[in-house]
Amino acid sequence: MLGHFGFSYIGLLFLLLLFIPNVIWTRKKPQGYMPGKENKVLVFFERIGEGFTVTCVLVFDDFNLQGWSNRCWWLIGAFIAMAMYELWWIRYFRSERKGSDFYSSFLGIPLAGATLPVISFFLLGIYGRVVWLLAAAGILGVGHIGIHLQHSKELNQEEPQGLS
C-alpha cells in the first residue's frame, strides 16, 4: 500500500495529459484574467499537493500496467476522468475564453478544470494502491479546487444580475 520505487510511464503519461493543456492555457487565458488575492492556505495546499502528486506518479512503478485484474477498472476510471479533462480543455479553447468558460462544469462535474485531474489522480492512486498518491491528490484537491471555487464565486459576484 505504500508503493514500490521505480519509474512510472503511466504516471508520465498522466502528467503530460495534465501539463500540455496548461502550457497552451498560458497563451489563452480567460479575458480579463486576474488571479486576485488567493487564500494563502489554499495556495500552500495546492503547491504541496502539486509537488507531492508529480513526485508520486513518477517514482512509484505500481501505476504501470501489470496484466488484467479487477483493479484495472480504477485505471480505466482514471483515464476516463483524464479524457474528460482533455475534452473540457478543448471546449474551453474553442469558447470565447471568458471566466465563466474557465470555471465551468463538464458533464455535470463542477469546476471541471480543477476537479477532473484531482479525481483522475485519486483513482490512479487507488489503482496503484499507493497511499501517498491518495494523500497527495487529497491535498491537491483542497488547494486547487478551493482556489477555483474562490475565483468562481468572485466571478459570479462581479457579473451584473438581471433586472427583477
Is residue 164 included in any domain, yes or no?
Answer: no
For 65-107, the pLDDT digits (tens) are: 989 999 999 999 999 999 999 999 999 999 999 999 999 999 9
Would residue 33 count as lying in a domain?
no
| Cα torsion 145, 97, 94, 47: sign | negative
Q: What percent of the chain has pLDDT over 90?
A: 84
Q: Do 74 and 8 touch, CB atoms closer than 8 A?
A: no
Over the stretch 131-145, which tens digit does the pLDDT of each residue have? 999 999 999 999 999
Domain of 47? 9-23+38-63+70-156
- Domain membership flag for residue 97: yes
Number of domains in the chain: 1
pTM of the shown model: 0.92
